[in-house]
Every structure is written in structure tokens, then in C-alpha cells.
Amino acid sequence: MIKLKRAYDPASVDDGVRILVERLWPRGVKKEALHLDAWLKDVAPSTELRKWFGHDPAKWPGFQRKYFAELDARPDALEPILSALRKGPVTLIFSSRDAEHNNAVALKAYLAMHQARHESR
């Protein structure tokens, strides 16, 4: 099970493995306050893509398409998340204010598609 949580929300025992999926550290948050198991910068969108998107909901479909292409190009970056998922719940930590249009939401959708492809084999 994959959950999503803002970096500014408190950690919970229900979170399971907590993974920060941002290229940049969340502003104003101390490292020890996040209670992370991992920080996977390589699964975050490229700097160019992040700047292009600019959290503009109108660009959401294009952002997802481009982000998925970046993820397709580096499948090894997903392995820590997939490995953790085999053992229990995983919470993807993000810093965006927009809880509907951010890289963690897109990554969760991508991982769901990835799991569905592998389960159908």
C-alpha cells in the first residue's frame, strides 16, 4: 500500500516506510523532524521538468507524461520503493502545497501501473 503525506504533516506509526521523493529538501523542516527511512532524489522529476511544470494544474497531463518518461529511463531508482512495498506500507513524502498535482501523486500512479504490469505476467 502506498500512502502520500506532506513533509509538514506529523509522522505516524501507520506510515510504514517513509520516503522523501523530492530533489530539494523541504523548506523549514529539520532533518530529524521528518523521521525518514530514505531520501530518493533520483525518483524526483528533473530540475528542468520541475521548473517547467511550476505546479500549474493546466500542465498536469504533460507533466505526468514527461515525468513517467523520466522514470522509465531510470528503473533502478524505483527499486528501494518496490522493495519496501514487498514488506509493507510505504508513505511517499512530498513538500508541495498542492496535494493533487505533485510528483508524489504522479509517482504513486506510476508505481501502481508498474505493479499492475508485473502482476499480470
Cβ contacts of 46 within 8 Å, gap of 6 or more = 23, 70
Q: What is the largest CA-CA distance in the chain?
A: 44
Per-residue pLDDT in tens (0 to 9) along the chain, 121 residues: 999 999 999 999 999 999 999 999 999 999 888 999 999 999 999 999 999 999 899 999 999 999 999 999 998 999 999 999 999 999 999 999 999 999 999 999 999 988 777 665 5
Exposed, middle or buried: residue 1 (CB in 10 Å: 0-12, 13-18, 19+)? Answer: exposed
The answer to whether the CB of 17 falls within 8 A of the CB of 36 is no
Quote the cell numbers at residue 108.
504513486
